[in-house]
A and B are shown apart, each in its own frame.
Chain A
């Protein structure tokens, strides 16, 4: 099996760019990725592009050929959609394509444009990741769905809004030095607790913002990297994906995310590592409770103990396993279809040592990315390791 290297990563600043077209956002990320990789764009053999709600936000379907043009590549191009895990599945298929020997160079990533919609429009757009007949018609919003999970978690394991506020404070602190983050401002536990309710028990500072942005990654075979003298020290050694029942009400346990656990098990087995080997993680904290569920699914905390991990300092920048050193979706931002690619970009920089937060993980060798769709009916996990 061919080894897959991350040759280059590219991101736009995450934030509010309501006037910028999706094609321009992705073009910027791709340009940065090619420059970082030192790879000629004419060598790209496939484009795997993630996008969730472009048909609503930009009245633009069929985005893959458009983004191939924007990136200046002429090759088979496909859009992947798995709600907030769209870029995660795009990355996963890129990894599998390079591994199989089908291609030596694949461009993957994603883009989402959201702030050109008003809050109601964005709320409506995000809700389509849930079951329209049995959830959305019952008033389930995206924050509402995670609020249902948060209350179920509190009932099953205990925990409080204050525990969740520590997750928000941690991720905002991590975003401070990150030049790509939407929010580079501290949020105290008290401020998070005092923010207005969105869907109780979740309040405004439990939620990720509405974000525009794009991510792009150049994946290459190790042979291609060697032949072309690329500096590509990070390898994707594990990939896994899980699927669960679409509607939250149909899950066996409302306070756990087994699709993510299945994805993690598959990715760890693929890489030949265990959860105890993980030095740092980027997880899908669209809401503070989502980070709690994610680290439990990844085996970084026992069921029922994820809730206290941030408060106890186990997942802070100087903790045992720092989680979301980028700031996470919570503070870095969540351009839905770009997020899974952004996590890989951040981990690559953290492992290479060129991330502003690399100083917190100087000896890190194994990193894990967790990207989830909807209420984790879809989940993708990747393991990255320092190969050189």
Chain B
């Protein structure tokens, strides 16, 4: 839950989310093409140690989502909110969909929707989150 300028709390993850915020989101990919997210020393699927950083595609596709009404304390002021699992090339990211109205008649997002990934803040405590925004496909 560190912010830019704060000491590193989770080395590997912190740099990854910094990069995502800077528009340089990336995944680790092994020679077999398995994608994963840092920190990794080996591929979690096959154990290969030869992992290369690969830029994430500009946009991803929503594979599933939920409208969360009962949050954990860190998200108390954020609810209701939409958490989605989105395919970006070799990996899926889990994040919160912003720029929609989750309390509306429609959820504001659907499976198959195209989104881009960025970094946003929790309304509750300002902690950083992976944020998705719908874009025209």
Contact = CB atoms under 8 A, between A and B. Distances in A.
Contacts of A321: none
Interface in A123-153: 123-124, 127, 133-141, 143-144, 147-149, 151-152
A148 B75 contact: no
A123 B1 CA distance: 19
B70 A254 contact: no
Interface in B19-63: 36-37, 44, 63
Interface stretch (A214-222, A232-240, A244-252): A244-252
A121 B70 CA distance: 12
Contacts, number: 103
Contact of B85 (A137, A143, A148, A196): A148
Interface stretch (A49-57, A197-205, A357-365): A197-205
A144 B111 contact: no
A139 B94 CA distance: 9
Given A148-B66, A200-B66, A249-B94, A136 B72 contact: yes
B70 A200 contact: no
Given A139-B75, A155-B111, A254-B63, A123 B93 contact: no
Contact of B69 (A138, A199, A245): A199
Contacts of A151: 64-66, 111
B94 A199 contact: no
B66 A119 contact: no
A144 B66 CA distance: 6
Interface residues on A, range: 35 or more
Q: Is the interface of A mostly helix, strand, loop or mixed?
A: helix
B93 A249 contact: yes
B95 interface: yes
Interface residues of B, number: 36
Given A124-B73, A138-B130, A152-B63, A249 B85 contact: yes
A139 B73 contact: no
Nearest to B78: A139
A124 B13 contact: no
A152 B64 contact: yes
Contact of B94 (A127, A245, A247): A247
A120 interface: yes
Given A196-B69, A200-B107, A138 B92 contact: no
Interface string B110-129: 01000000000000000111
Nearest to A200: B67
Interface in A331-347: none
Contacts of A134: 13, 37, 93-94
Contact of A139 (B91, B92, B129): B129
A139 B122 CA distance: 9
Nearest to A125: B72
A141 B71 contact: yes
A200 B80 CA distance: 10
B32 to A, nearest CB: 14
Contact of A137 (B44, B66, B92, B129): B129
A147 B66 contact: yes
Contacts of B65: 148, 151
A134 B40 CA distance: 13
Contacts of A144: 66, 68, 83
Q: Which of A137, A141, A151 is packed against the most chain B CB atoms within 10 Å?
A: A137
A250 to B, nearest CB: 7
A254 B73 CA distance: 26
B123 to A, nearest CB: 11
A120 B96 contact: no
Given A148-B64, A199-B68, A245-B44, A120 B73 contact: yes
B94 A124 contact: no
Interface of B: 1, 10, 13, 36-37, 44, 63-76, 78, 81, 83, 85, 91-96, 107, 111, 127-130
**7 shortest interchain CB distances as A-B pairs:** A147-B66, A249-B92, A152-B64, A200-B67, A138-B94, A139-B83, A151-B64
Given A124-B72, A139-B75, A249-B85, 8 more contacts: A123-B70, A139-B129, A148-B64, A149-B64, A152-B85, A199-B67, A200-B66, A254-B63
